[in-house]
Structure 1
Amino acid sequence: MTLQQVSMEDLDHLAATAADVLAQVRDAMVEPHPRKLAPTFTSVAIADLCGIDKSQVKYLTQKHELPSGRKIEGSKAKEYTLEDAIQWVQKIGGRPRRGLETPGKVLAVCNYKGGVAKTSTSMALAQALTLRGLKVLIIDCDGQGTATQLAGISPEQDVDIDQTIMPYIYGDFPDLQYAVQNTYWHNLSVIPASSGLLAAEFALPAKAMEQRGFKFWEVLKNGIEPLRKEFDLIVIDTSPSLSHLTVNAMIAADGLLMPCPPDALDFASSVQFWGIFSELIDGLPDAKQKRYDFISIVYTKVQANEISRLVKTWMKQAYGAHINGIEIPDSTAARTASAQLKTIYDLSKPDGSIEAYRRYKEPLDRLADYVLDQLAVSWSKA
């Protein structure tokens, strides 16, 4: 067998061809424009979100002048829009709310390793929290732009570098308010990402060399500050690394969430992640005084086998109270949704097995409730 070398021109052609095929696949999956549509809700789903009996829906509709839903043609049932559902939750749901003068909180979702369900967990959590009455912003700090894609925006086709965090990092804007975009999902906004975010890994250390005393690790923290007034929660989706942007996200955050499968290699990688971050903090002036409201590790892609059970034991020993005990399974429902560039919350009804849908969604709902409880405690102390 002869060695067939690959030139840079060949690589350029490969990249262009692959990008063209991916664009065609995405166009086929997301037609027609707009690319993504929010789900609709039944009366039963509205009652479940608000923690009431379905029989109360009609009475409460009239009492509080709430959306009454739209009759489904050929059926006695009604359907409600996402905006209707959120209005119901905010009025009837009785969920914890942030005080008007209390700043919103920042949650960084991080892991050293890819393929651990970090981005899908970030987006599902953001959606679930809007369904609990919060106004949420996703900041995509991963140049792959997967969170941006899940927010209904193509990072290759629809995102210019000027729409990302990069102009702020270059010093063109005083904060990140310019970059916030609405999405197809009510009360969920996004600061999108594109491959141009890689430039941050050069721009930040360059500034540190040029400007004496420049704290490169607090850039994102400062840019986010004005957004805390508008949003109850800001979720930062990070790249699978300890890049300059990831360190910035972790310093900006009030809480850290690490999705981690109970797998030996994933566990070892997570231990390495925390060790390196701890060493980095030792070298950053004032960073050692940082305090988090909570740090939580959630099991993801959990399989029902002996290896998973063994590694969960190791993780409990290693992380103690930081393990929140929620187990998000390795699920066909997750893969089905992901294949359509969706999360489980994008589906108005189960796409496939109802049981698989329920098994996957229930722990995500519990995770959202857990995070909301943490937020409620921190808001009360603000």
Structure 2
Amino acid sequence: MSLQQVSMDDLDLLANTAADVLAQVRDAMIEPHPRKVAPTFNSGAIADLCGVDKTQIKYLTQKHNLPSGRKIEGSKAKEYSLEEAITWVKAIGGHPSRPEGREGKVIAVCNYKGGVAKTSTTVAIGQAATLRGLRVLIIDCDGQGTATQLAGISPEQDVEVEHTIMPFIHDDQSDLRYAVQETYWHNLCVIPASSGLLAAEFALPAKAMQQRGFHFWEVLKNGIAPLRKDFDLILIDTSPSLSHLTLNAMIAADGLLMPCPPDALDFASSVQFWGIFSELVDSLPDAKQKRYDFISIIYTKVQANEISRLVKTWMKQAYGTHINGIEIPESTAARTASAQLKTIYDLSKPDGSMEAYRRYKEPLDRLADYILDQLALSWSNA
């Protein structure tokens, strides 16, 4: 076998060919435009969302003047749109809501490694929170733009750098309100990302060198501030690194969430992440005064084997009460949804085994309820 060297021209060709193939795959999966469509809900799903018996739906519809749904052709069943489902939840769901005069809360989802279900968990929490009556914003701070893609916007085709946080980073905008985009999912907005976000890793330290006393770690915090009045929950999806933007996201946040598989290497990486973050905070003026409402480590991609059980023991010893006990399993349902550029909440019905669907979705529902409880506690203590 002879050595086959690869020139930069070859790499250009590879990149272009791969991009063309990915674009064709995406077009095949997400046509027609608009690319993603919100799921619909049957009466049973509405009852589950609202915590009532299905037999009460007709009575509650009349009592509260709620959407009555549409009959499915050829069936006695009814279906409801996402917006109608959220109307039901806000009317009778009984979930905590943001008190008058309180600001929305910010949660940064972070991890040193990729492939830990960070982005899919972020978007799923956002969707689940809207199904509990909240207005949610996702800020995509990862140049790969996966959260943007899951929100129904193509980073390559639909996002220019001026649509991202970069104009604010460059002082061309006074805050981040300009970048907020609505999505196909009712009450879920996004500030999208593209590969242009990589420039932030040069722009922020450059400004720190040029401007004496410039707090480069608080830029995102300042840009988000006006949005706290418009949204109940702001989720920041970060890159798999402890970059300048990730540091900004963690300083801007009221709570931190780390998805982490119970795998020895992932656990070791998470320990390194917290150690480096702690050292960075020690070096930043006033950052040591930062207080979080909560920090929570979530078991993700959990497998039913002895290694996972052992590493969960280590993680519990290391993180104590910060482990909240929710386990999101490794799942065919998750892989099936991801292959369609969807989360589990995008599916109106299981795309495969009902058991696999429930086993994956139920812990995500519990995680969303946990987040809502944390928000309610922080609002009551504000």
Give the TM-score, by structure 1 length: 1.00
Aligned partner letter, 2:126? A
SS across alignment from 1:209: helix
Aligned partner letter, 1:360? Y
The corresponding residue for 2:89 is 89
Structural mapping, 1:172-191, within 5 Å: 172-191=172-191
Aligned partner letter, 1:247? L
Cα distance in 2 for residues equivalent to 1:137 and 1:359: 27
Cα distance in 2 for residues equivalent to 1:97 and 1:358: 26
String of CA shifts for 1:139-179, please: whole Å, max 9, x gaps. 00000000000000000000000000000000000000000
Deviation at 1:6, TM superposition (A): 1.2
Aligned partner letter, 2:369? D
The corresponding residue for 1:319 is 319
Aligned partner letter, 2:263? D
The corresponding residue for 1:198 is 198
SS across alignment from 1:221: helix
2:239 aligned with 1:239: yes
Deviation at 1:3, TM superposition (A): 2.1
The corresponding residue for 2:98 is 98
Cα distance in 2 for residues equivalent to 1:59 and 1:29: 40
String of CA shifts for 1:77-125, please: whole Å, max 9, x gaps. 1000000000000010011010121000000000000000000000001
Deviation at 1:243, TM superposition (A): 0.3
The corresponding residue for 2:147 is 147
SS across alignment from 1:185: coil
Cα distance in 1 for residues equivalent to 2:9 and 2:293: 50
Cα distance in 2 for residues equivalent to 1:54 and 1:307: 42
Structural mapping, 1:59-74, within 5 Å: 59-74=59-74
Cα distance in 1 for residues equivalent to 2:176 and 2:32: 31
Deviation at 1:213, TM superposition (A): 0.5
2:104 aligned with 1:112: no
The corresponding residue for 1:328 is 328
String of CA shifts for 1:245-290, please: whole Å, max 9, x gaps. 0000000000000000000000000000000000000110000000
Corresponding residue pairs, total? 382
Cα distance in 2 for residues equivalent to 1:257 and 1:81: 30
String of CA shifts for 1:296-342, please: whole Å, max 9, x gaps. 00000000000000000000000000000000000000000000000
Deviation at 1:2, TM superposition (A): 2.6
Aligned partner letter, 1:235? L
The corresponding residue for 1:16 is 16
2:340 aligned with 1:354: no
The corresponding residue for 2:369 is 369
Aligned partner letter, 2:60? L
SS across alignment from 1:156: helix
Aligned partner letter, 1:379? W
Cα distance in 1 for residues equivalent to 2:332 and 2:214: 47
Cα distance in 2 for residues equivalent to 1:97 and 1:311: 36
Cα distance in 2 for residues equivalent to 1:73 and 1:16: 45
- Segments of 4+ in structure 1 off by > 2 A? none
Cα distance in 2 for residues equivalent to 1:73 and 1:235: 38
Cα distance in 2 for residues equivalent to 1:353 and 1:249: 37
Unaligned ranges ≥5, structure 2: none
Cα distance in 1 for residues equivalent to 2:228 and 2:285: 25
Deviation at 1:131, TM superposition (A): 0.2
The corresponding residue for 2:256 is 256
String of CA shifts for 1:22-72, please: whole Å, max 9, x gaps. 000000000111100000001111011001111111111111111000010
String of CA shifts for 1:166-212, please: whole Å, max 9, x gaps. 00000000000000000000000000000000000000000000111
The corresponding residue for 1:215 is 215
Deviation at 1:9, TM superposition (A): 1.1
Aligned partner letter, 2:155? P
Cα distance in 2 for residues equivalent to 1:7 and 1:101: 60
Aligned partner letter, 2:377? V
The corresponding residue for 2:281 is 281
Cα distance in 2 for residues equivalent to 1:19 and 1:214: 39
2:294 aligned with 1:294: yes
Aligned partner letter, 2:55? S
The corresponding residue for 1:121 is 121
The corresponding residue for 2:130 is 130
Cα distance in 2 for residues equivalent to 1:297 and 1:265: 16
Give the TM-score, by structure 2 length: 1.00
Q: Identity, % of aligned pairs?
A: 85
Cα distance in 1 for residues equivalent to 2:80 and 2:132: 16
Aligned partner letter, 2:312? K
Cα distance in 2 for residues equivalent to 1:8 and 1:217: 36
Aligned partner letter, 1:16? N
Cα distance in 1 for residues equivalent to 2:209 and 2:202: 11
